[in-house]
Structure 1
Amino acid sequence: MVHNNGTGAARPLSRRFFLTATGIGALTAGLAACGGTSTSGSSPSSPAPTSGGGGGFPLTMEGAEGKTVLTARPQRVVTVGFMRDLDEAVSLGVNPVATTPASNFDSGIPPWVEAKLGGAKIEQLEFEDKLPFEKIVALTPDLILATDSYTLADDFANLTALAPTLSYEKDVAEDTWQTRATRVGKALGKSDEAEKAVKAVTAKIEEAKTKNQAALAGKTFTFSLLNGEGAIATVILPTDASAQLLAHLGLKLSDKVTKLPQAGPAGRAVVATENTDLLDADIVMFSFRNAEERAKVEGDRLFQNLPAVKRGAYVALEVETALSMAFPSTLSIPYALDKIVPLLVQAAGKA
């Protein structure tokens, strides 16, 4: 099964740094600690059905930041996590009354969530430095989902004073996507549906692996990006969420990078330009936030001379596709598989 990054790095920044080595930076600006996007029209939560789903209310759930006590099935849900609280609620058919915006996306909503919403709108809570507690209380929520919040250690007391708040189980950087889906499902009274969603996504991963085993099995890869200073930062830990998804498809993180010393955020190493050759593998992957970054990397002579790049075994990913791997959920993983697997198979054919 695919797991989140289990690096055990100091909380709360380890996972938020997937696509930037110096903090929130250009990619994740507007998320947990800084500004939001435009507000969409609001709509009430779609409540969980009263039959099936393993209700079990009243309910008390333990979490790393504190308990969540629910006297009845939630009807008005607000999500304040990075992306995955919203993912899992919508996956289970519960549209929150409001959510903090995902500013990596123009609409404020990840495309895999938009597809599931089918045109329905969710109010987005604009904020700059701190969560908009006044706006949240005005919505009268009966559950706040915060399993994907990187500032929950600071915010839990304030949030739980407004409404029961669901924390991550162990750590935002350690809980697996299966754990998050299961916790959210239980809090919403939809445990059965959550279990089915986890099984369905696991089956989809296994199906993709089996179908493409001949092309992908045993192929090595590297996966890199440019950090906030414009330097190359590459994944070095097999426990990274993206690396785990790729491993479950049969790929293997290159030994050239797993031996590098960690620098900057957990699970990454900064590679000096003169050492670009360390990125070479059967398949070279690179994620870009914009066209300027891509032009910079692809225009570099040392990058152009990588054997994998020369033979066409190079996969360039847009940021939304990279995020669907980096922050896995029952909605984002199928999106990632649909977008990435064909590119990997094509590149593997030139390995």
Structure 2
Amino acid sequence: MPPTRSSTVDRSTPRRARLALALGAALLAVPLAACGADPEAEPDGSAGGGETASEAFEAVTIEHAFGSTEIDEEPLRVVTWGWGSSDAAIALGVVPVAIPKNSYGADEEGYMPWQQEAIDASGAEEPTLLTEAAEPPLEEIIAAEPDLILANYSGITEADYEKLSQIADTVAYPDEPWSTPWREVITTVGDALGKADEAAQLLEDVDAEVAAAAAAHPEFEGRTIAAVAIDPNAFYVYTPADPRVQFLEDLGFTVADSVDELDTGESTFYYTLSTEEVDKLTSDVLLSYVADQTVRDDIAADPALQAMQQVQDGTVASVVGESYISSVSPPTALSLTWGLETFVESLVPAVEAAG
């Protein structure tokens, strides 16, 4: 156990003052109503990450798209927004006080299965679930009384950042929205929480599991692959910039030349291919992400796809199920190893069929 401060760290007063200036009385109503406790009282330890700070915490400055954020005291109440940072914090032993609610692949409450498993194993109090929305739900975040907001894989705008940073120290993404490499999500969260060494070890452990899976399937090595998502109205191809594709490369696959040759430049991580051109997407293996078995069956029966060599040869692999799709879209500190075995086994039959 690291040494702890002998007295409670009370950061609520300056935060309320900043909120009053930036957000006005309407937003202040939530935290002011909720904060009736004696600031000198001993903490109850119920919040994510505990309520005592470590004397060993070293101040850190994190550069990001909207400037830099200096964190000079160990965060005691962490709120996350976006994807991946929640899992990184939980994996590093800090359960946030509030995290985004999920619907795709989540349980009825809004937790992803790997999150629920990790939180249950930690014995910590479950985080508050923030409403799913395009913009951060400011009043809900204020009510959580954070001293750190992690949005380092998100789509927040500069205006969002300015509002969030009036609530607490806020870390945004390094360059572009929704494009932070999953490994960098983990290292940045580790830096912000004063757990850089633990983050490095976590990455080493995750990489070791992926390497072990690749070693157990040498038949993956050098096989060309194209990863796609198909719905009744569109055929999407993921580019090498997408974390899903990078994960396939970690397993030993090589991105098929046709993926680059057909790229329309529509997006940094995917493009849409017309049904008239799908037969040009050649590869040893075609990997499709489908929500359920019904969708998979519909795809297999689609006449437009019968022209694809992979369909004819039986070298189509499918990752079926919202949770499993989410576990690599993109991977997180918790999700990648959670779904690794199922993901790998879904590829085996198609690779074997490729000969």
> Same fold by TM-score, threshold 0.5 exceeded?
yes
Alignment match, 1:80: 81
| Structure 2 residue runs without a partner (length 5+) | 1-45
Shift of 1:211: 2.0
Q: Is structure 2 residue 63 aligned with structure 1 residue 97?
A: no
Q: Residue 76 of structure 1: CA displacement?
A: 0.7
Deviations along 1:90-118, one digit per CA (max 9) or x if unpaired, are 11111111112122133222222222112
Looking at structure 2, the residues matched to 323 and 279 of structure 1 have their Cα atoms a distance apart, in angstroms, of 24
How many residues matched? 303
Closer, same or farther: CA 327–293 of 1 in aligned 2, 3 Å: same
SS at match of 2:64: coil
Equivalent in 195, 205, 223 of residue 190 of structure 1: 195
> Which amino acid is 1:226 matched to?
I
For 2:102 and 2:159, how far apart are their aligned partners in 1? 20
Instruction: Tell me how far apart the structure 1 counterparts of residues 226 and 74 of structure 2 sit (CA, whole Å).
Output: 45
Residues 222-261 of structure 1: pairs in structure 2 closer than 5 A: 222-226=226-230, 230-235=233-238, 237-261=239-263
**CA-atom RMSD in angstroms:** 2.5
Is the alpha carbon distance of 1:178 and 1:220 closer, same or farther for their aligned partners in structure 2, counting shifts above 3 Å?
A: same
Letter in 2 for 1:257: V
**Structure with bigger RCO (C-alpha 8 Å, 6+ apart):** 1
| 2:341 partner letter | D
- 1:335 aligned to which of 315, 318, 338: 338
Contact 2:49 2:96 in 1 (8 A): yes
What residue ranges of structure 1 are gaps of 5+ in the alignment?
1-42
Structure 1 CA distance, aligned partners of 2:351 and 2:134?
Answer: 44
Q: TM-score, normalised by structure 2?
A: 0.77
> Does 2:183 correspond to 1:178?
yes
Q: Give, as a single letter, the amino acid of the residue that structure 1 aligns with 2:117.
A: A
Shift of 1:78: 0.7
Equivalent position of 2:114 in the other structure: 112
Q: Deviations over 1:172-203 (max 9, x none)?
A: 44432222211101111211211110111122
TM-score normalised to structure 1 length: 0.78
Determine the C-alpha separation between the residues in 2 that align with 1:49 and 1:310: 61
1:242-285 Cα deviation digits (max 9, x unpaired): 11111121111222222013254333232222323234422111
Counterpart in 2 of 1:220?
224
After superposition, give the CA deviation of every residue in 1:6-41 in whole Å (9 maximum; x if it has no partner): xxxxxxxxxxxxxxxxxxxxxxxxxxxxxxxxxxxx
Say which of 323, 328, 345 aligns to 1:325. 328
> d(CA) in 2 for partners of 1:267 and 1:139?
34
Within the candidate set 309, 314, 317, 1:315 is matched to 317
1:65 and 1:152 in contact (8 A); partners too? no
Higher CA-based Rg: 2
Query: Which residue of structure 2 aligns with residue 148 of structure 1?
Result: 153
SS at match of 1:161: helix
In the aligned structure 2, how far is the partner of 1:273 from the partner of 1:59? 50
Percent sequence identity is 29
Relative distance call for 1:126 and 1:51 in structure 2 (3 A) is closer
Cross-structure match for 1:68: 69
Aligned partners of 1:48 and 1:188 also within 8 Å = no
On the 8 A contact 2:85/2:150 being kept in 1, the answer is yes
The structure with more helix, counted as a fraction of residues: 2
Q: 1:263 to 1:256 in 2, by over 3 A?
A: same
Query: What is the distance in 1 between the residues matched to 2:132 and 2:260?
Result: 38
In 1, Cα distance between equivalents of 2:292 and 2:101: 20
1:205 is aligned to 210
Say whether the 8 Å CA contact 2:156–2:172 is kept in structure 1. Answer: no
Give 1:240-319 correspondences, 5 Å limit: 240-262=242-264, 264-290=266-292, 293-304=295-306, 306-317=308-319, 318-319=321-322
- Alpha-carbon separation, structure 2, partners of 1:134 and 1:101: 15
Name the SS for the 2:289 alignment partner: strand
Matched residue SS, 1:62: strand
Q: Whole-Å Cα distance in 2 between the matches of residues 126 and 331 of structure 1? A: 22
Question: In structure 1, the residue corresponding to 2:328 is in which secondary structure?
Answer: helix
